[in-house]
Amino acid sequence: MLKRKKSLVGLDIGSAAVKVAELRPLSGGGCELANLGMAPLPPGAVVDGAIIAKVPVADAITRLFRDKRIRNRRIATSLSGHCVIVKKITVPLQTPRELDESIQWEAAQYIPFEIADVHIDYHVLRTNPSGGSMDIILVAAKKERITDQTGVISMAGKVPVVVDVDAFALQNAYKLNYAPDPDLVVALVDIGASTMIFSVVRGSEFLFTRDITIGTGHYCDFFQKEMRVSREDAERLTHGDFRSAEEGQQAERIMTTVSEILALEIHKTLDYFKTLSSTFEIHKMYLSGGGGHIPGLTDHFHRKLQLPIELFDSFRVVKKLPSGLSRDELRAVAPDMAVAVGLAVRTTGE
Ligand SMILES: Nc1ncnc2c1ncn2[C@@H]1O[C@H](COP(=O)(O)OP(=O)(O)OP(=O)(O)O)[C@@H](O)[C@H]1O
Ligand SMILES: [Mg+2]
């Protein structure tokens, strides 16, 4: 996956933090993590994946690259949330040229946006010559959101080369790290501060994805509302840091309530996936994003969803670490960096 072409720095602009990762392939297999970094963003700068305040986001990127001494300026970044639609569709069998011409028309049937306002891309999954059809993944992203994101990257003095989708980055991070068995069906769930990305893959094959606008911010909202605490205290409670036994008991009750809401959202999405693809049984779920740190969340999901749940390890194939970073430090951020690592898999000239 990482051979020959020039590497890009994976840049994940989330609503809580920006994360960067740069990978280099090692000749003996596995890869080197050339650079890694994360910087928090001020509240409100990025909301539900949309960049609201460009200057603080550009500043955070500039500082992160400077502090980590990252020289590579070429960036792969991604979008998520309501501005992107990803759909697996079946179209009549046609040549690549015909498909290039008909894709706008095909897309118009599936995309609830004005076609003029979106950038359309597609990838052929398979052709079924006997049935005269082909399966493709259709992606439509709001042009405005693409230019907002690339604009901020340019403002930070970097060069946006690839604009991907969070769900695909997650899948690439999974492929890179787990080299999955072709028949293994897994759900990849990334819970960020505001968005939960839910995808299903069989081996390395895309089956389904959906972004759900709920995240760890829900814990903070509940703490603030129910316990009348400040945003900072709510964030502290989310980390399981309690100042008294009484505070702990109250916070744990609220955490259970919110974890149940998240589990229910996943349950509904799993049910929806089953109605679309009744032939595929999900064997396992990987959890990534800041949600991977929520105390007890994996156990909670395991009980409610009756599925084996594992924390996603973004650095499973990393053999060489950036200088000054220990394995323990790396392990501590392994769930958070999934999207950035999946973006760092992308190269120039794709
Ligand atoms: N150690 C921790 N314990 C508990 N919660 C944590 C911990 N670390 C991070 N979080 C939660 O995860 C959130 C950040 O997650 P993440 O970095 O995945 O979000 P994001 O990618 O910036 O947001 P999004 O993708 O939703 O736009 C924090 O706001 C916090 O609520
Ligand atoms: Mg995120």
| CA atoms of 338 and 115, how far apart (whole Å) | 31
Q: What is the pTM of this model?
A: 0.96
Spans of all domains in the chain: 84-140
Q: How many CB atoms lie within 10 A of CB 244?
A: 8
What pairs with residue 37 in β-bridges? Answer: 20
How far, in Å, from the CA of 289 to the mean position of ligand 1? 6
* Low pLDDT (below 50) residues in the chain: 1-2
Q: Which residue's CA lies nearest to atom 17 of ligand 1? A: 290
How far, in Å, from the CA of 193 to the mean position of ligand 1? 5
Establish whether residue 335 lines the binding site of ligand 1, counting it when its CB lies within 6 angstroms of any ligand atom: no
State residue 82's pLDDT score: 86
How far, in Å, from the CA of 340 to the mean position of ligand 2? 9
Of all atoms in ligand 1, which is nearest to the CA of residue 190? 18
Amino acid of residue 53: A
Closest CA to 347 of 74, 104, 82: 74
From the centroid of its chain, how far is CA 183? Answer: 23
Paired sense of beta strands 159-165 and 74-79, if any: parallel
State residue 48's pLDDT score: 86
Residues with Cβ < 8 Å from 294, sequence gap 6 or more? 191, 216, 219, 238, 255, 259
| CA atoms of 80 and 210, how far apart (whole Å) | 10
Establish whether residue 292 lines the binding site of ligand 1, counting it when its CB lies within 6 angstroms of any ligand atom: no
State residue 5's pLDDT score: 77
State residue 4's pLDDT score: 60
CA 155, 158, 160, 163: dihedral to nearest 10 degrees? -80
Q: Which residue's CA lies nearest to atom 15 of ligand 1? A: 290
Establish whether residue 70 lines the binding site of ligand 1, counting it when its CB lies within 6 angstroms of any ligand atom: no
| CA atoms of 183 and 186, how far apart (whole Å) | 10
What pairs with residue 287 in β-bridges? Answer: 189, 311
Q: Which residues have a beta carbon within 5 Å of ligand 2, which is an ion?
A: 14, 192
Q: Is residue 58 within 8 Å of residue 12, measured between CB atoms?
A: no
Overall size of the chain counted in residues: 350
Tell whether the torsion through CA atoms of 323, 328, 329 and 333 is positive or negative.
Answer: positive
For the domain made up of 84-140, give the CATH fold: Dna Ligase; domain 1 (3.30.1490)
Q: What is the pLDDT of residues 51-84, one digit of tens each?
A: 999 999 999 999 999 999 999 999 999 999 889 9
Q: What is the pLDDT of residues 329-348, one digit of tens each?
A: 999 999 999 999 999 999 88
State residue 49's pLDDT score: 87
Tell whether the torsion through CA atoms of 298, 300, 301 and 303 is positive or negative.
Answer: positive
Query: Which residue matches tokens 């994101």?
Result: 149
Q: Which residue's CA lies nearest to atom 4 of ligand 1? A: 239
Establish whether residue 15 lines the binding site of ligand 1, counting it when its CB lies within 6 angstroms of any ligand atom: yes
